[in-house]
Structure 1
């Protein structure tokens, strides 16, 4: 019997969680080879890119270095095509990798295609490189310049607050269809909006940006808002690779999975994180690190069960909290029901800052613990933290 090839495409929060679990428990197993494919050797802390975007320097983590000693291999390159029937992946249009089992973890990014001018004139936080370009632009903008943050979701809120705090001479305008914190408890939403006001952020909800111009954004109805810089955080999209490969996808291009996180059309493919349409009792999960890392862990354990001739178990998940930073000295934490609806419990101010910094700290220590994990254990998320439990085997 030949080697069973496991490919992990993407090394974000979900992909790395799957890769480290697999490497720790199967990387040295005879007849099994784990390979991680990612465009960069550096791990990107997506949850902290709003900090990078304002010129703050974060620790850099090397994916190949973490994989050392596990038996897993690392391939640096862009995935350009997948042949789901032949079970091959093309990297940089030059290399072809074969797989028996794939973990598809290519994530999502800000959708810059839906609104004219975004690709040409707006900045994004899709990568560390994009965030560094924004930081350089903000440093050169000068006092009195206007920054429009388009999108009033969590990324937009955190970015607007961070920019206003780090660059108090800039005029920061947050635009979105909804008021910031609209899905939170009314008291939490009120605190959040007051905090943005204290930082000098001008908030306009109930508006839609329909075009980005070289020096402004145009709203539905024809009004324009002057902008020296536009940061686009409205909407997300996933790679078209899954749909092009013939995998069954939903209306947003995410791979439709069964309860064990296998593709319903190609069960040798497991989909995790933002790239997957994972149904739970409350509906389809939305993309967050809180949900992404557990899907990666579960996919790895499902693959290990399948290698042992066992049936994978269904994935079950419930949300626990929504932490939102408001600069470096303020935050809110909305505790939630499993379906992500708000509870009446919340934290604000310095206590919320400490809580958020604890539960959203760099995942590297968690990955390192996974790497050293004995075969009988697994790390599962509990309220944003990872604790050691018995493996779901």
Structure 2
């Protein structure tokens, strides 16, 4: 029996598991186990909606993965030499192949006070805590720290859902800085229409009642949301990692120090021709599929193939009734083509925010099937 253990059931981990199920159906010499700290799948792409007070579907991982063994618990340690995973410090799982998909969380340790005084969007629980806090503040200021796409989506959603609140978006660069001129201008105009104020600056300290900027200025706030930067947990001692704690992989997504360990999603430092992938659902799901394909190839005595990926789009919701989609080159630099308004809302909801039809198709494919177009880029 070849034991495959997937630690983490986010977008990348789920893509790995469902693809493995589809490609090993009918084999009785392969066992797939998924370990996760919650039975509920975290739709991270929708957490800004939950944080604003909306309700999301409750998706149970055991029901989504009926053909695998699901282990509920927190991974507390991995011994790559003994090939074991420790769960809740009470159970030990043995593996022949490990898929490391534990993902990342907001880097609240980068700035003093962020851990103690700022909310995050790392989990369903975190988003619900923020929603409860916002529900108690009729008027006041919400400071969203981090001008990236997560910060933009969160600021827009909160401003639309809570028009009585003053929402200020603080970042090193202007909102939509990675987009083309048209999409950037549309993003900024929509934020202004929703009443979101934007401030350029580095947050150097988070206080109980606001944040301090690099120049010494204090921005008062009743609620602080931290969306700047990502860090990953280093649980696998001895496995080669980069400066941010991500597992360094070879071209096939195997650990350069332990080839029986695959790393996918935010947990992996994956080098492509244009640089290291940045963590998004758009790249995370294809890494999971590729890891599953590679594992099945190894089970058949074949060598895994290199992973190739190119970005395709940058979809950003701006509340429930507006959005912008910036189409990109493979290196994520902006193309000229964009979508805005209702068309962008439809595109965002259809393509980016609902992975379940995709997972369903993966599960149905036979072992010889190929989910992604042959010769094409990995895209969603």
TM bracket (short chain): over 0.9
Q: Is residue 123 of structure 2 the alignment partner of residue 127 of structure 1?
A: yes
TM-score, normalised to structure 1, is 0.94
- Judging changes above 3 Å, is the alpha-carbon distance between structure 1 residues 354 and 383 closer, same or farther for their aligned structure 2 residues? farther
Matched, 1:273 2:265: yes
Give the 5 Å matches for 1:342-357: 342-357=334-349
1:230 and 2:233 aligned? no
| Conserved? CA contact 1:146–1:228, under 8 Å | yes
Among 43, 60, 82, the residue aligned to 1:62: 60
CA distance in 1, matches of 2:265, 2:272: 14
Please list the CA deviations of residues 224-253 of structure 1 after superposition, one character each: whole Å capped at 9, or x if unmatched. 0000000000110001213xx111111111
Cα contact 1:360–1:384 (8 A) shared by 2:
no
Q: Distance in 1 between matches of 2:303 and 2:175?
A: 44
SS of the residue corresponding to residue 379 of structure 1 reads coil
Separation (CA, whole Å) in 2 of partners of 1:305 and 1:376: 10
Q: CA deviation at 1:365?
A: 2.1
Secondary structure class of the residue paired with 1:378 = coil
What is the CA–CA distance in structure 2 between the aligned matches of 1:301 and 1:123, rounded to whole Å? Answer: 38
Q: 2 CA distance for matches of 1:380 and 1:87?
A: 31
**Which residue does 1:17 correspond to in 2?**
15
Contact 1:321 1:335 survives alignment (8 Å): yes
Rounded Cα–Cα distance in structure 2 between residues aligned with 1:74 and 1:28: 19
Q: Distance in 2 between matches of 1:227 and 1:191?
A: 27
Question: 2:145–2:203: 8 Å Cα contact kept in structure 1?
Answer: yes
The alpha carbon displacement at 1:67 in A equals 1.7
Aligned-residue offset at 1:27? 5.5
- Residue of structure 2 in register with 1:51 after alignment: 49
The residue that corresponds to 2:156 in the other structure is 161
Contact kept in structure 2, 1:80 and 1:91, CA below 8 Å: yes
CA deviation after TM superposition for structure 1 residue 373, in Å: 1.9
1:147 aligned onto 2:147 = no
**Secondary structure at 2:362's aligned position in 1?**
helix
CA contact (8 A) 1:27 1:34 kept: no
Residue 212 of structure 2 contacts residue 219 of structure 2 at CA under 8 Å; is this kept in 1?
yes
| 3-state secondary structure, aligned to 1:343 | strand
User: What is the DSSP-based 3-state SS (H/G/I as helix, E as strand, rest coil) of the residue aligned with 1:23?
Assistant: helix
Distance 1:250 1:344, change over 3 A: same
Conserved in 2, the CA contact under 8 Å of 1:273 and 1:296? yes
Q: 2:244 aligns with which of 225, 236, 252?
A: 252
Unaligned runs of 5+ in 1: 387-393
How many pairs are equivalent? 378
Q: CA deviation at 1:116?
A: 0.8
Contact 2:10 2:42 in 1 (8 A): yes
Cα distance in structure 1, aligned partners of 2:76 and 2:186: 45
- Structure 2, unmatched stretches of 5+, are none
3-state SS, counterpart of residue 336 of structure 2: strand
Moved more, 314-323 or 347-356: 347-356
- Give secondary structure in 2 for the equivalent of 1:368: helix
Alignment map for 1:280-319 (pairs within 5 Å): 280-319=272-311
User: Equivalent residue of 1:135, what SS?
Assistant: helix
TM-score, normalising length: structure 2: 0.97
1:184 Cα offset (Å) = 1.0
1:107–1:275 contact (8 Å) kept in structure 2: yes
Q: Partners in 1 of 2:221 and 2:20 — Cα distance?
A: 47
Is 1:80 matched up with 2:72?
Answer: no
Deviation at 1:321, TM superposition (A): 0.4
- Residue by residue over 1:257-302, the C-alpha shift from the partner in whole angstroms, topping out at 9 and shown as x without a partner, is 0111000000000000010000111110000000000000000000
Q: Find the aligned partners of 2:93 and 2:280 in 1 and give their Cα distance.
A: 29
User: Out of 93, 101, 113, which is 1:97 matched to?
Assistant: 93
Pairwise CA distance, 1:163: 0.3
* Corresponding residue of 2:233: 239
Is residue 324 of structure 1 aligned with residue 313 of structure 2?
no
- 3-state SS of the aligned residue for 2:371? strand
1:322: how far off?
0.1
Tell me the SS of whatever aligns to 1:141.
coil
C-alpha contact (below 8 Å) 1:359/1:384 kept by paired residues: no
